[in-house]
């Protein structure tokens, strides 16, 4: 009796009956569309263009998109330069603060 689940008083169907119902539903769906059919074998496809030219076309951008991307790249580069300047200045300030003595700081404060 180990592992057996008592289903007395429950209205949930057993796992076996749920699996059987799912299989029956799938079979009915397959029958509704005319059964299972094998696909026809695929022959060679003639390609008027080489794979290289197809790849090049997929990489091409129209003028408007390229200009928009250039503007974004330029803005990102300027923002990065500004950030690097701010970080450098913050590092200089931290170096100066580390060099100063408590007496010099209190004299500078007032």
As a whole number, mean pLDDT of residues 18-29 equals: 80
- Residue 1: its pLDDT value, please? 47
Residue 77 has pLDDT above 90, yes or no: yes
38-50 pLDDT, tens digit per residue, is 666 656 656 577 7
First to last CA, the chain: 87
Query: Residue ranges per domain, the chain?
Result: 61-110
Q: What φ, ψ does residue 30 adopt, rounded to 5°?
A: -65, -45
Q: Which of 38-52, 57-71, 92-106 has the highest mean pLDDT?
A: 92-106
Share the mean pLDDT of the chain. 74
Q: Which residues contact 61 (CB under 8 A, 6 or more apart)?
A: 69
- Residue 95: its pLDDT value, please? 83
């Amino acid at each position: 009796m180990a592992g057996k689940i008592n289903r007395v008083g429950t209205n949930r169907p057993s796992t076996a009956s749920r699996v059987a119902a799912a299989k029956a539903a799938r079979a009915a769906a397959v029958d509704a569309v005319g059964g299972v059919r094998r696909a026809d074998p695929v022959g060679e496809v003639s390609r008027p263009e080489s794979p290289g030219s197809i790849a090049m076309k997929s990489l091409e951008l129209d003028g408007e998109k390229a200009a928009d991307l250039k503007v974004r790249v330029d803005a990102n580069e300027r923002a990065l330069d500004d950030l690097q300047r701010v970080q450098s200045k913050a590092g200089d300030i931290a170096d100066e603060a580390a060099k100063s003595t408590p007496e010099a700081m209190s004299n500078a404060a007032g």
